[in-house]
Each structure stands twice: as structure tokens, then as C-alpha cells.
Structure 1
Amino acid sequence: MPASTATATATATATATANASAPLSKSHYTAIPSFPACLGGEWKNMVKKPYLKATMRFTIGTVLPPHHFPSVSRIEVISGSIQVNDLQNGEAYLIGPGQDCMIPALLVHEVQCIENVEFEFAMNRDDMVIYWDLEER
């Protein structure tokens, strides 16, 4: 086998091996493990260090029931719109494309998807921890 063919074959084999162990494509959405399946949500582009960051999407009409996070989180809407209901203070915030919302640690809130929505979610920790507050409704 000529050297150039052997090099090309070795390179192709190395690339195939690297691709087999590479993480999923950045365009691939998967179910959010901390969310009940009935809520539907999906996420992608998960980064854990130095803090959790992912793109999430939900369909129109989805309501994420009362919940809170143990640390500060941030939502930045990419497309669609959501309403974040602060259940502790009785306030609601409509967030559309290009807008963001910081959610303080421990704040019990719910999210209503006004349209099909895609947003970037970031949490001030390296893993997804969510507490569902269904009994507080």
C-alpha cells in the first residue's frame, strides 16, 4: 500500500474512532432528566463547567408547575415567549426573544409557554437540581 493511502486510511480510522466517542451533535435534543416526562421539555448543548448551561425547548401550552432551584438561574429566550409567575410575590413576567430573566435561588415560580419556545438556561452550579413544589400551590 502506498504511503499516502496508508496515511489516509489511518487518518480515516482515527477520525471514525474519535467520532464514535464524541458527544452527541450540538443540534440533538434529549429529554431533560430532572423533568417529568409529561412536561415534554428537551435540551441540548449542555455544558457543566464552570456552571450548567443548556438550550431548552417546550411546546405552546406547556406549564412547568411550581418549582424552585437551590441556586440562581437565568433564562434567555431565543424564540417564542414564556411567562414566569413568581408565586411568592404574586408577580408575572412575560419574556420574549432577546430578553432574559434572572431567578433568585429558592424562589418558587412556574413557567407558562405562551408559544413554542426555545431558551438558554443557565444555573449557578454544575448539575441540574430542581425541586417541584406541587404541594405549595
Structure 2
Amino acid sequence: MISSTSISSPIVKTIPNNDQYTSIPHFPACLGGEWKNLVKTPYLKTTMKFRAGTSLPPHHFPTMSRITVHSGSIQIDDLQTSQAYILHANDDCVIPALLVHEIQFLQDVEFEFELNSNEMIIYWDFEER
């Protein structure tokens, strides 16, 4: 179940001079998307951009993640409960560890992504459900 919550942050290590967006590692090129890292320690915090109409197939993270939308809109489909959540600018949500979900970008979108890990770890769930 996806939920909203607040996360307090301990001391963080920012990544200096990374104003350029680059391709997202571990994402197939066909999915597009760009990111720029903001923080790496004690957890990954980045800004991501995707074009309208892009969909991320079923996937999950081994740890909790959080999305905060800056612009555009995103639909997150929780494949375990068959619930769909639409996030607009200034909305945020927490995605629990191991929750298999899909994401559809309804408009060009820019959002902050936090992963409770210091590196990008994603598992693609391509088997049929």
C-alpha cells in the first residue's frame, strides 16, 4: 500500500557540481528518463525527468522509496492491491520496500526520488501477473 509520510533527514552528503541530467543507470534505454543526483549518503536522493506517455513496466525496490512531484503528473499502479494513485505537482508518496508497481507519466514530469539506499537498485518484474 502506497502512503504519504514525512521523512526527517540526518546529515547528508551532497554531490557537488552535478547540474547535468544524464541517463538513469539500470534503466533500459527504451524507457528514456534522465536524472541528476543531489545526495548519495546516507540515502540516494535525485531529481528525475520523463516525457509524457512513458511507462515503467512492473518493478520494485529492495528498500522504501519516496516520490515528490515538482511538475507534471504520474500514475502509480500498485499491482499487489490493484489500486492506482495519481500524483500532481507538490504531491508525494512513499512506496514500501518490495512493492511491485508500474508507473505511467501522464504529462512531462520532473520529480524528486529518494531511495533508502546509497545506490540505485531496481528489480524489473517482467513475468506475467
Q: Percent identity?
A: 63
Q: Secondary structure at the match of 1:48?
A: strand
Higher-helix-fraction structure:
1
Q: Is 1:135 equivalent to 2:113 in the alignment?
A: no
Q: Which has the higher contact order (CA 8 A, sep 6+)?
A: 2
- Count of matched residue pairs: 115
TM superposition shift of 1:107: 0.2
Q: Determine helix, strand or coil for the equivalent of 2:41.
A: coil
Q: Does residue 34 of structure 1 match 2:26?
A: yes
User: Secondary structure in 2 aligned to 1:106?
Assistant: coil
Moved runs in structure 1, 4+ residues, more than 3 A?
22-25
Aligned to 1:64: 56
The TM-score normalised by the length of structure 2 is 0.85
Superposed CA RMSD in Å reads: 1.3
- Distance in 2, Cα, partners of 1:49 & 1:62: 29
**TM-score of the superposed pair, with normalisation by structure 1:** 0.80
Residue 107 of structure 2 aligns with an amino acid whose one-letter code is E
Q: Between Structure 1 and Structure 2, whose CA radius of gyration is higher?
A: 1
1:80-133 deviation line (CA, Å, top 9, x unaligned): 000000001000000000000100000000000000000000011101000000
